[in-house]
Homo-oligomer: A and B are copies of this chain.
Amino acid sequence: MSELRHDPLSRRWVTIAMERSRRPGEFRFPQPVPSSDTEPCDFCSGQETRTPPELYAVRDRGGANSSNWVVRVIPNKQPVFAIEGSIDRRAIGLYDRMRGIGAHEIVIETPIHRVKPAEMPLLQLSAALTASRIRMSDLMRDNRFKYVLLFKNYGETAGATIHHPNQQIVATPVTPLLVSTQLSAARSYFQLKERCLFCDVIDQELDRGTRIVHVDDDFVSFAPYASRFPYEIHLYPRQHTHQFATLSDANTEKLSAHLLTVFRRLDIVLGDAPLNWMLVNGPNTNVDVRRAGFWATLEHDFHWHIEILPRLTPMAGFEWGTGLFINPTPPEDAAAFLRDAL
């Protein structure tokens, strides 16, 4: 017998196959970075002239676009969104369109070509996340951008086209559907209870314990009650805060240490698996309130977090047609494997 579980944040039902739980070794996936991959690539140290000029970098010595950098942020060479111009909203008969105004930046996490997430040195990941935080804060000053997303694709199955370790930042002129669904659920809950839905979920998970993967004084990671995917993990700051951009340097280092522990646990249990992680942030509060409408001031009711999705199972017609995911590994089993790993 399977179980249908409802996720209060995404308002999504998920089917959890309770009886035929798939063990970690039962998943087959391609190697994230093929062994045929050659270096140096455009993102390697010494190849700085092969990329657009950098937007931000951390380096001990030398000028902009020289080598010896620790972390480097560049605009995407083939950006999905253009940074210059007005949004120009129009009706096309029944439809709506606007110009693709936004930003698309690449945070090169390390000068080294091949590093899997579990083996990134702590100070390196911390420098990369700090650089991402600084760039996101900067992009949020632009009130054309309603939302700024940070994410990483690891492995071709996860949509990575460049193998050199990188994070991506995208600023969009619309509040994306998946985000507005979470914002809407969080706001309804806050209006009812005057408490943050995410904070209540964290309390309940810590109290119950069976889905906790890793916890320290500042952050908690757990397999969500209604996980869409096997070994899906959500990471939350334990202190209520709606904006990742407001995190201190010290807490960014603590976040990096926590994230690394989670990646190590995943690597031990699943091996070197393809994955995506996305930082789900509050909306840009610098946007003009009249334009942002409903999403203008959400400091109390939204809670930023990171969603980690190992890419072990393909999407099939059932999921595309319904959004009702089938997860063959109960999150309680996944969390137990991951807790026992270290």
User: Interface residues, chain A, CB within 8 Å of chain B?
Assistant: 1-8, 11-13, 15, 17-18, 20, 78, 80-82, 85, 92-100, 147, 149, 151-153, 156-160, 168, 170, 172-174, 176-179, 197, 200-201, 204, 208, 225-226, 276-280, 307, 309, 313-324, 326
Residue with the greatest number of chain B CB neighbours at <10 A, chosen from A12, A178, A318: A318
Cβ of A226: which chain B residues have Cβ within 8 Å of it?
95
Q: Are B3 and A100 in contact (CB under 8 A)?
A: yes
**Interchain Cβ contacts under 8 Å between A and B, 16 examples:** A4-B97, A4-B98, A5-B95, A5-B96, A12-B177, A20-B78, A149-B318, A149-B321, A151-B321, A156-B314, A174-B324, A177-B323, A178-B321, A178-B322, A178-B323, A307-B321
Question: How many monomers of this protein are in the complex?
Answer: 2
The residue on B at minimum CB distance from A81 is: B2
Cβ of A98: which chain B residues have Cβ within 8 Å of it?
3-4
Known contacts A2-B99, A94-B200, A178-B323; can you find 20 more A-B pairs with CB under 8 A? A2-B80, A2-B81, A2-B82, A2-B100, A3-B97, A3-B99, A4-B97, A6-B96, A7-B95, A93-B204, A94-B204, A149-B318, A151-B320, A153-B316, A158-B317, A159-B317, A176-B323, A179-B322, A276-B316, A276-B317
**Shortest distance from the beta carbon of A77 to any chain B beta carbon, whole Å:** 11
Considering the chains assembled together, what is the distance between the CA atoms of A3 and B96 in angstroms? Answer: 10
Q: Are B177 and A314 in contact (CB under 8 A)?
A: no
Q: Are A316 and B160 in contact (CB under 8 A)?
A: yes
Considering the chains assembled together, what is the distance between the CA atoms of A280 and B317 in angstroms? Answer: 11
Q: Are A278 and B159 in contact (CB under 8 A)?
A: no
**Shortest distance from the beta carbon of A257 to any chain B beta carbon, whole Å:** 22
Considering the chains assembled together, what is the distance between the CA atoms of A204 and B6 in angstroms? Answer: 37
Cβ of A96: which chain B residues have Cβ within 8 Å of it?
5-6, 8
Residue with the greatest number of chain B CB neighbours at <10 A, chosen from A18, A147, A151, A279: A151
**Shortest distance from the beta carbon of A210 to any chain B beta carbon, whole Å:** 11
Cβ of A5: which chain B residues have Cβ within 8 Å of it?
95-97
A158 partner, pick from B82, B276, B277, B316, beta carbons under 8 A: B316
Cβ of A201: which chain B residues have Cβ within 8 Å of it?
94
A309 partner, pick from B92, B279, B314, B320, beta carbons under 8 A: B320
**Shortest distance from the beta carbon of A164 to any chain B beta carbon, whole Å:** 16
**Shortest distance from the beta carbon of A158 to any chain B beta carbon, whole Å:** 6
Q: Are A1 and B309 in contact (CB under 8 A)?
A: no
Cβ of A13: which chain B residues have Cβ within 8 Å of it?
174, 176-177
A4 partner, pick from B100, B149, B277, beta carbons under 8 A: B100
**Shortest distance from the beta carbon of A187 to any chain B beta carbon, whole Å:** 16
**Shortest distance from the beta carbon of A173 to any chain B beta carbon, whole Å:** 7
